[in-house]
Amino acid sequence: EIPSERAAISYKLATIWERQLSNPRKAVHLYERALENNPSIWCLWSLAQIYEQLGMSRELCSVLEQMASGVTDRRAAAEIQLKIGRIKHVVSLGDPIPHLRHALDLDSGERFAQRAIERTLRETGRRSELAEVLGQRIELTTDPREKACLLTELAEILVKQGDLVAAESDFREALEHAKSHLPAFAGLRRLLEEQQRYRELAELTEEEASAMESNRGMADALFRAATLWQDQVGDVPRALPLYGKVHKIYPGHGEAYQRLHSIMTSEQDWAGLASLIRGQISTAQDPLVTSNMFIELGQLYLQRLSQHRKGEACFRRALDLEPDNIVSLTTLGDMYYTNPRRWSAALK
């Protein structure tokens, strides 16, 4: 008849069913009866464990909320609120954010709660609240890289909300804190491109190239900058040295080579074109491609630079690689035929 005694007996029976007889479902009802008669922390804790074991999420949240109301240790209370928030988020039992915020209020150093709030707001698409949370973290953090990451994420939210001016400001501030933060470069590039601010975009892409760790990444960024200067801004003199840098950093960059070739040809920079082709020959792997480049270089020496000996040497190198190449054979034959002293070479 005494509630505390009934609770003690029910609790003892429950532990037997749970631990000795391995029947947690039978134990649940006994723990619940014990809790009705004496809502002790031990009974709540045992019930919470068995609810979790059986996957009874709604009941588990209810018990955890009772536990949180009776806990005096702020850190322990924060952990309980965090657990409630996680459960509600995973099984969709309501809004987990109030519990996560409560955990953060109880323990401001609870980074798991902070991360859980941000993750939940991201996954549920609550961009305005997420922007507010990120803004608070930006003010508190002292780590430059973390600040850059937060500013970049905030800028992306502002872009989706249509506040492009504020977004651009945050992207640029992120780069002030971390000059090699590529996501900020990417976001700002996209923003400038959508607004067709090509001159600023080209300048930014040049800056981005310096943040690349690999030669290929740097070459690709410089190539993008060069094409912007040439195609969108119309400033070929600004583009030309960038193409040259690409070719120097990564000689196998075929598009940069073609662009340089086209510009030098249109400007009749034959000496520069000869130097470009020589550099490309040194990187070529295919014998037929190399042979064709030697032929092109040889024709350039003969027709544009009047350097016949160098031209002849190029055609001979082409024949070494492709002995039956008709262009090399006929060109050398014509060169020898015009010089009576070399007729025997022409016949050969």
What DSSP string runs through 182-225?
HHHHHHHHHHHHHTT-HHHHHHHHHHHHHH-SSHHHHHHHHHHH
CB burial of residue 249 (10 Å; 0-12, 13-18, 19+): buried
Q: What is the pLDDT of residue 237?
A: 93
From first to last of its 348 residues, the chain has per-residue pLDDT tens of 556 777 788 878 878 887 888 888 888 888 787 777 777 777 787 878 888 888 888 888 888 888 877 777 777 777 887 788 778 777 777 777 777 677 666 665 556 666 776 777 777 777 787 787 788 778 878 899 999 999 998 999 899 889 999 999 999 999 999 999 999 999 999 999 999 999 999 999 999 999 998 999 999 999 999 999 999 999 999 999 999 999 889 888 889 999 999 999 999 999 999 999 998 998 888 999 999 999 999 999 999 999 999 999 999 999 999 999 999 988 988 887 776 666 565 555
Return d(Cα 204, Cα 191) in angstroms, integer. 11
How many other β-carbons are positioned within 10 Å of the β-carbon of residue 286?
Answer: 9
User: Cα-atom radius of gyration of the chain, to the nearest Å?
Assistant: 37
Return d(Cα 141, Cα 118) in angstroms, integer. 15
- Joined tokens for residue 106: 């109880």
Q: What is the pLDDT of residue 63?
A: 81
Return d(Cα 176, Cα 167) in angstroms, integer. 14
Q: How far apart are the first and last CA of the chain?
A: 124
Give me the phi and psi of 108, to 5 degrees please: -65, -20
Q: What is the pLDDT of residue 302?
A: 93
How many other β-carbons are positioned within 10 Å of the β-carbon of residue 305?
Answer: 15
* Alpha helices for 228-307 (secondary structure H): 236-249, 254-266, 270-281, 287-303
Return d(Cα 286, Cα 327) in angstroms, integer. 18
Is this model's pTM higher than 0.85 or not? no
How many other β-carbons are positioned within 10 Å of the β-carbon of residue 140?
Answer: 12
Return d(Cα 39, Cα 7) in angstroms, integer. 9
Question: What are the distances in angstroms from CA 234 to CA 114, 189, 199, 239, 256?
Answer: 49, 19, 10, 9, 17
Q: What is the pLDDT of residue 273?
A: 94
Q: What is the pLDDT of residue 314?
A: 95
Q: What is the pLDDT of residue 251?
A: 82
